Amino acid sequence: MTADQLRLHAPQLLDLQHKAYAVEAARIGDDRIPPLHETEGDLLSSGLKWIASWDGGLISGAVGYAVEHDIVDLDRLMIHPAYHRRGLGRALVIEVMALAPRTVVATARENLPARSLYESLGFLHQSDVEATPGLWISRYSRTRA
């Protein structure tokens, strides 16, 4: 998305973000996931670049990322609940992985579907970090062959 497209579609992207992270919060039993509580201003000031998947005029999925020193930091992967289990998340991650030789990502340790997705794409588990008391994050990395 261009900066203009991001501003135009920010309300819809924020709605998708809240829906997607509500599913993760329910899955892990913890609603302290920062993107779940962001505002439109937070989203716009995040500095992330975005790739979105569309179904007509609606965003069905999106990935927010940053690239620095040949490393893609896959910051957010958001799939609308109506589009789960259709390969959309996989397709978006593959598209982002093509942007640099190395890709890093973090997800809730208890988010087994996300962890399985990343592991199936060749990401290697690097570490687990307690982001806040009781909320554990698993960090992954993948280097292109």
Whether the pLDDT of residue 145 is over 80: the answer is no
Using one digit for the tens of pLDDT, what is the confidence trace for 41-57?
Answer: 999 999 999 999 999 98
47 Rama sector, left if φ>0, alpha if ψ -120 to 50, beta otherwise: left
Read off the pLDDT of each residue in 111-134 and give the average, rounded to a whole number.
95
Q: Which region holds residue 36: left if phi is over 0, alpha if psi is between -120 and 50, else beta?
A: alpha
92, two tokens: 């978006």
pLDDT digit string, tens, across residues 92-110: 999 999 999 999 999 999 9
Burial of 27 by CB count in 10 Å (0-12 exposed, 13-18 middle, 19+ buried)? middle
Judged against a pLDDT cut of 90, whether residue 114 lies above it is answered with: yes
- The answer to whether residues 101 and 73 touch, using CB atoms and an 8 Å cutoff, is no
pLDDT at position 21 is 93
**Which residue is it, tokens 């962890």?**
115
Non-local CB neighbours of 45 within 8 Å, separated by 6+ positions: none
What residue type is 13 in one-letter code? L
Q: What is the pTM of this model?
A: 0.92
Average per-residue pLDDT for the chain: 94
Q: Predicted confidence band at 78 (pLDDT cuts at 50, 70, 90)?
A: very high
